Amino acid sequence: MSDQGIDRRAFVGDLVAACLAAGGPVLLGMVRVAAAQGVGAGAYDPSAHDYGIGIDIAKCIGCARCVAACKAENDVPMEPHYFNTWIERYVLRTDGTVDVDSPNGGLDGFGPIESEGDVLRTFFVPKLCNHCANPPCVQVCPVGATFQSPDGVVLVDDSYCIGCRYCIQACPYGARYLHPEKHVAAKCTFCYHRLVKGLVPACVEVCPTGARVFGEVEKRATPLARFMRFNDIQVLKPNLNTKPKAYYANLDGEVR
């Protein structure tokens, strides 16, 4: 995940010195980002960004290329139950019942639907960490290992994480898991190692239908800002006041 050849300790030391000189909380945030993600000195300014992701339910075909790309890009364990992003299929029936399945996060493909005559509507819902602006996972971490970067991305510093699972229990979206080899909390980072190089997350890059849109929340010219302007946007579990930054278009009210 980290850039090759960076003397991480020396770089973080330089940034700490810069923080002390400037006394700015933003610079302190940069130190945390550098320590957690191995960002090169001067290569990236997280205070200049505010990232989010858009997902158009009407465009998702459930192919799960995003899931496969994410696993490969981020070294996510291949066993089922470990996902930074996954696809759920919703089947709404005329009697008001809703079936949800996600075989191996969508990687195993979605089988035929039973009792098709009763089906009102089916659709796929990509899910991932919502990079909440008010994240309960950050609030409960007893050692400050999980934190918000100044660019709005919620990250985990593996060197601080003690694997207590508090954040996993606190996340209302099921977006975290305990990494079976590293024994630290893991989750989507928006492919942070790509962001700092000006690239979009791997899931966005491989989506064949453009169902995933990445960009800046506020800057009007970016694809995400346009997506939010031209669609009726909803978020998951808005009543929890987590202020998610995964923005959905064409989301059915039955999605949990």
Of residues 123, 242, 249, 251, which one binds ligand SF4 by CB under 6 A? 242
Q: Is 252 helix (H, G, I), strand (E, B) or coil?
A: coil
Question: Does residue 217 interact with ligand SF4 by CB under 6 A?
Answer: no
Give dist(CA 126, CA 64) in Å, integer: 9
Q: Does 125 bind ligand SF4 (CB under 6 A)?
A: no
DSSP strand E in 45-93: where?
51-56, 85-93
Binding flag, residue 54, ligand SF4 (CB under 6 A) = no
Determine which residue in the list 38, 105, 136, 150 makes contact with ligand SF4, applying CB under 6 A: 136
The answer to the question of residue 129 lying near ligand SF4 (CB under 6 A) is yes
| One residue of 39, 207, 217, 249 binding ligand SF4 per CB under 6 A | 207
Site for ligand SF4 in 63-82 (CB under 6 A): 63-66
User: Hey, which residues between 182 and 201 contact ligand SF4 (CB under 6 A)?
Assistant: 187
122's enclosing H/E stretch is strand 119-128
35 or 175: CB nearest ligand SF4: 175
Helices marked H in the chain: 8-22, 25-37, 65-74, 136-140, 166-170, 192-195, 202-206, 223-230
Rounded Cα–Cα distance for residues 166 and 126 (Å)? 24
Candidates 156, 171, 213, 217: give the one binding ligand SF4 (CB under 6 A): 171
Residue 135 contacts ligand SF4 per CB under 6 A: yes
Catalogue the long-range contacts made by 204-210 (C-beta closer than 8 Å, 24 or more residues apart). Answer: 204/53, 204/66, 205/69, 206/65, 206/66, 206/68, 206/69, 207/65, 207/66, 208/61, 208/63, 208/65, 209/59, 209/60, 209/61, 210/56, 210/59
Asked if residue 87 binds ligand SF4 (CB under 6 A), the reply is yes
Residue 55 Cβ vs ligand SF4, minimum distance, rounded to whole Å:
7
**Per CB under 6 A, which region of 18-26, 32-40, 61-69, 112-120 contacts ligand SF4?**
61-69
Which residue, 39 or 132, has its beta carbon nearer to ligand SF4?
A: 132
The CB-of-135 to ligand SF4 minimum distance in angstroms stands at 4
Please give the radius of gyration of the chain, using alpha carbons only, rounded to the nearest integer: 19
Does position 150 bind ligand SF4 by CB under 6 A?
no
In DSSP terms, which residues pair with 148 in a beta bridge? Answer: 154
Closest by Cα among 98, 104, 105, 214 to 151: 214
Residues that bind ligand SF4 (CB under 6 A): 60-66, 87, 124, 126, 129-132, 135-137, 154, 171, 173, 175-176, 187, 206-207, 209, 211-212, 242
